[in-house]
Every structure is written in C-alpha cells, then in structure tokens.
Amino acid sequence: MMLEQAILQYTLKKLVAKGFTPMNVPNIVNPEALQGTGYFPGGEEDAYWLERDNQWLIGTSEIPVTAYHMDEVLSEDELPKRYCGYSACYRREAGTYGKDTAGLYRVHQFMKVEQVVILPEDIAMSDEFHRQILQNAMEIIDDIKVPYRVLQLCTGDMAIGKYNSQDLECWMPSRDGYGETHSVTSFLDFQARRLNLRYRDKEGKIKYCYTMNNTAIATPRFLIAVIENYQQADGSIKVPEVLVPYMGKEFITT
C-alpha cells in the first residue's frame, strides 16, 4: 500500500509543479458523461451500472474531469485548462475471461492519475500539448527508472473519436515482455461536440474546444513493473530513489 501511495503522490506532485490543477473526482457519474466522452454507446458491458439510480461507476477519471465543463461556454483566455484527476476506477473487463486474470495485471478496481487538457480549436497547439502530456508520462517512468517503450497506434487500433494515440508499455519480467501501463490520446473536438463544451474566441465566435488525456500513472498495474524490476535476490524490494522520501526507507522487506 505504501509503495502504491508513494507512486501516486509523486505523480500528483510532479504534475501540480507543471501547472496542472488536481481534482479529486466523483466515482459515480450519469450516463451523459459517458456518452459525452465517447465511452457510450459501445462500452456499457465493461462498466458497472447502479441500476436504481441509472448511474455508472467510472472506468477512468477522464470521464468526470472532461465532463466538468459540459454545456459551458468558456473564454479563450481561460484556455488551455490542465487538470490531473485522481480517483479509483472500476472496470468489469467483460470479454477478457481467462486473459491476464491472475495477479495484478487485470483487476476490477484500481487507482489512477489522469492528465486532461482542454484547449482551443488549434491543431498546432493540440499537437504540442499532446507531446507535452506524453513527455510528462515518460518523465515519471524515467524518474522511477523502469524500462519501457512507446507504441504509436495505427488507425485500426484506435477507438471511436481518437485522432492521435500512443501506448506506453513497461517491462515486466514475469511476463517476459512489455505490458501496457499508460496511454495518451487526442480527440480534437470529438468529445467537446458530444459534451457541448465550447469557448468564445477573441473575435466573439463560439467554437468547440479540443480535448486530450493521458494516464499519468495507474496502479496496481505499474506496481508490477516496479516490484519486478526492483526485487533483490533475497526477496526484498529496493525502493526507487525518487520514492524514498515518500516511503521513509530504502528497502521493503518481507
């Protein structure tokens, strides 16, 4: 638990230092938030439904953070808005029976810190911020010193509404391979149109915002990479140097 909290707190502190506003978001949202962010229709089988109230548990804090400004008209001077959402996440993992079900890789509840950026209708700015949030995620992994790789997703591998997307995969010795731990995605105005999220430009014209998001860190999946890459011959786990101040010790012993 302490190692997980150290990773989450380190990530939040780093993003806040970069100008992101932290948000502790609700775990329960209405269906409009899921429709607006593009998870519905199509993702209902993977989400937990609270039938009595027709509410849903979130699979990522991207949903409530992006929907925070639903039906608003922002000022261009307010943009870009940069948020880091912190929450528990819930996924049924429907259709994955028998696939990666042992251990910590595929679980129904996990913690996540998500970067969300809302910006004006500007492709060049969107591409630059996409690079920035990708770089932020890479820096976090670099700081913790876990081997990883970045994969550019082709159009056929991207879900509905995605304009540009990469996955980050960390080396997991127990799998003898890399496992996906992070993703970064730009949507242009796809989510904003569904959420009716707009802004007024400097000429007074109302336009749709652009949105993007990134998994800054997700546990316990990232814990697999940390524990396995830092485990010593005697079974103890060496604490990554940047996390020692959060842990108060250099080794975790059994």
- Position 241 scores a pLDDT of 98
pTM for the full model?
0.93
The predicted structure's pLDDT at residue 98: 54
State residue 2's pLDDT score.
94
Structural domains in the chain, CATH included, are 2-252 (3.30.930.10)
Q: Identify the three-state secondary structure at position 42.
A: coil
Q: Is 150 helix (H, G, I), strand (E, B) or coil?
A: strand
pLDDT at position 93 = 79
Q: Catalogue the active-site residues.
A: 91, 106, 180, 183, 221
Positions in the chain short of pLDDT 70: 94-103
What stretches of the chain adopt beta strand conformation (E)? Answer: 21-24, 28-29, 49-50, 55-57, 73-75, 81-90, 109-119, 148-152, 164-172, 177-188, 198-200, 206-208, 210-219, 237-238, 251-252
Count of Cβ atoms closer than 10 Å to residue 189 Cβ: 18
pLDDT of residue 212: 99
pLDDT given for residue 114 in this prediction: 98
Query: Tokens 């250099």 label which residue?
Result: 250
